[in-house]
Amino acid sequence: MTTLVSTPRARQRGSSLILVLILLTVMLLGSLALARITEVTTLAGGNAASGDAAMQASEVGVNTGFAAVQAMAADDNVIGGWYFPTMQAVDAAGIPTINWDSAPELTVGTFRVRYAVDRLCNLTPVTDVLRQCLVKQVLQTESNREGAERPDPPNSRQYRVTVRVIGSKGTQVWTQAMVTKGS
């Protein structure tokens, strides 16, 4: 017959409990970090979408500015705080230093869009529209007849349309486009 020999139980000191608590703390910190990363990713995605929407809204400003330039009868005078007949001074980012509060404002969805146009010409006043501040001249065939007057070449003038878009959270997007108007 076999006899069972009982050995005295080892004293439990709670080391398993401490180990489990440490592992739970590490898992909790890991899950908090994962939650924070998810939140940052969501915010970054929202910011990117807002920036894309603001860029689309700026296209409305560029198109409106270009249509206003096309509709101008003369381009030698400042018009309504949005048009300037000569190049305006710019800041370090290339944005004209004008009073943006006087520029026309459009509402595109939740965005406020303002535009300004300046003619890319440093000469003021322009005294000969066919010869000053031209962007492009197309060569013309000339007459070989003695004493024939040389024709004026077709010309076009170039303008810079600057658009400021302000989003619902106060973010700003700036867009610039060069447009050409032929005469």
The pLDDT tens digits of the residues spanning 129-182 come to 666 665 555 555 666 666 666 655 556 778 889 999 998 878 888 999 988 887
DSSP assigned state of 102: G
Does residue 2 have a pLDDT over 80? Answer: no
Domain segments of the chain as ranges: 15-182
- Give the Cβ contact number of residue 56 at 10 Å: 14
Distance CA 11, CA 55 (A): 71
Picking from 108, 93, 119, 97, the residue whose alpha carbon sits closest to that of residue 61 is: 108
In this prediction, residues 72-80 reach a mean pLDDT of: 75
Q: So what's the pLDDT on residue 147?
A: 65
Q: Is 160:176 a contact under the CB 8 Å cutoff?
A: yes
Picking from 132, 51, 49, the residue whose alpha carbon sits closest to that of residue 85 is: 132
Q: Exposed, middle or buried: residue 124 (CB in 10 Å: 0-12, 13-18, 19+)?
A: middle
Q: Is 183:155 a contact under the CB 8 Å cutoff?
A: yes
The pLDDT tens digits of the residues spanning 9-61 come to 666 677 888 888 999 999 999 999 988 888 888 787 777 778 788 888 889 99
The pLDDT tens digits of the residues spanning 94-111 come to 888 888 888 999 988 889
Distance CA 83, CA 79 (A): 5
> Phi, psi at residue 104, to the nearest 5°?
-60, 145
Q: So what's the pLDDT on residue 26?
A: 93
pTM of the model: 0.66
Picking from 91, 68, 57, the residue whose alpha carbon sits closest to that of residue 172 is: 57
> Phi, psi at residue 68, to the nearest 5°?
-65, -40
